Structure 1
Amino acid sequence: MHSEKILVVDDDKDIRRILKIYLINAGYEVILASNGKEALELIEDNIKLILLDVMMSEMDGLEVCVKIREKYNMPIIFLTAKSEVIDKVAGLTAGGDDYITKPFQSIELIARVQANLRRYTYIENNTAIKEDKNDILIDDLNINLTSYTVKKNGSEVSLTKTEFSILKLLVKNRGRVFNIEQIYENVWQKESILNAENTVSVHIKKLREKIEDDVKKPKYIKTVWGIGYRID
């Protein structure tokens, strides 16, 4: 039996009922929300995963996801009636981790829930990734957010302020994909400009050259093709 608590957000009563049955039968504890506003009121630290409908009245799932990501990092799986690539990309860009297209089978739903929970638990608990206050250790890379220092295998790596800011953004949001616009606006603290993609790409390239063993096969800063970058 599982002990994880899952929040289900969907404005369709029948969908909520079906999802609750599937999840309870799989051993999960379930909390239901009929809209985005209710979901934001119910969310709490001990919720381990969110199933979030995209098309809802009042506040759609993408907007809800963005607001959740301001404070929480638990996996979010989008439930969508759309299968177009652009809709899937929009969900992942908003901060989602996965998506499942309606109608869905219980076996696929539970498999995706279990896979995302395993990944989240690994990131949170694995001894290879430890965080003590402002000191973060990922394999042989040590990042101190207070002293703004980075060490690789015990040797200090010299980063520019911008390079460190990009690394800090990604490492504090491990597992989340940031697109070019999000990285630019967070690091440069202004709206994205026409050449933002080139600007960000150049800094990512220089950052990889300093922290990666092989820039062609990066271990830390992963490229999610067509979307952006993340650190697991």
Structure 2
Amino acid sequence: MKKKKVISSALAMSFLFGAIAKPSLASNINTNSGFYKSSRTRQAYINLTNDQRKELDSMNTNNNGWLTIKEVKDHGRYSLPIVQGQSYLYPFMDDRNNNGMVGENETETPQSPAGTENTDQVNDQEVIEEVTDEEIENLEEDLNSNQETEENPSSNQETEENPVASQIPSDYLDRLEESLKNAKTTIAGAEILVKNMPKFSTQNGEIINNLIEKQNQIIARAEKLLVANGREVIID
């Protein structure tokens, strides 16, 4: 339990320090980058040089929050494995076994024995990302539109049994759950920060409060959409 609390605090502090970054620093950053939009990689992305950010974005062909082994291999400049502390690419990749290396099995034969899973395929699977504010707003519009239809159905139009659920794909709901979890983690870390660093918290009180308020808004909106689509939500 103590380990989880420390991890939560570290994640939230990283998110917070990203929010406190000076505007002059952010002016040279591609805010449309998938790495900037993801709270997991935002600070690491900000810390890169301009050339590194440009190269990283060019490698990230689908502009999501993760760099895959295939994208690194297709780029052709870097050899595998990508090692923590040795390559700037590491923070943006998925180290599934947490051994400090990504793609360490690439020297093995690409063909997998019958009945086993190819390691390359596992590492290149898409990882669930957070839902952006714009996507949440679009989902809320769909939800409100369908609720109005249920309350005032047209005489010539049959109301679907569950119109909201048919509007929102399952993968969006998975991402909403991830956003909900990350928002709660950020709030928990911010509260720990306020408790353990009172001087810093006093100096940056407005930023911290705005951060917590934004995360609470994400939680409320995500819970509403998830419940409307039959997903179980645990209220803390």
Regarding TM over 0.5, the answer is no
More strand by share: 1
| Higher relative contact order structure (alpha carbons within 8 Å, sequence separation ≥ 6) | 2
Greater C-alpha Rg = 2
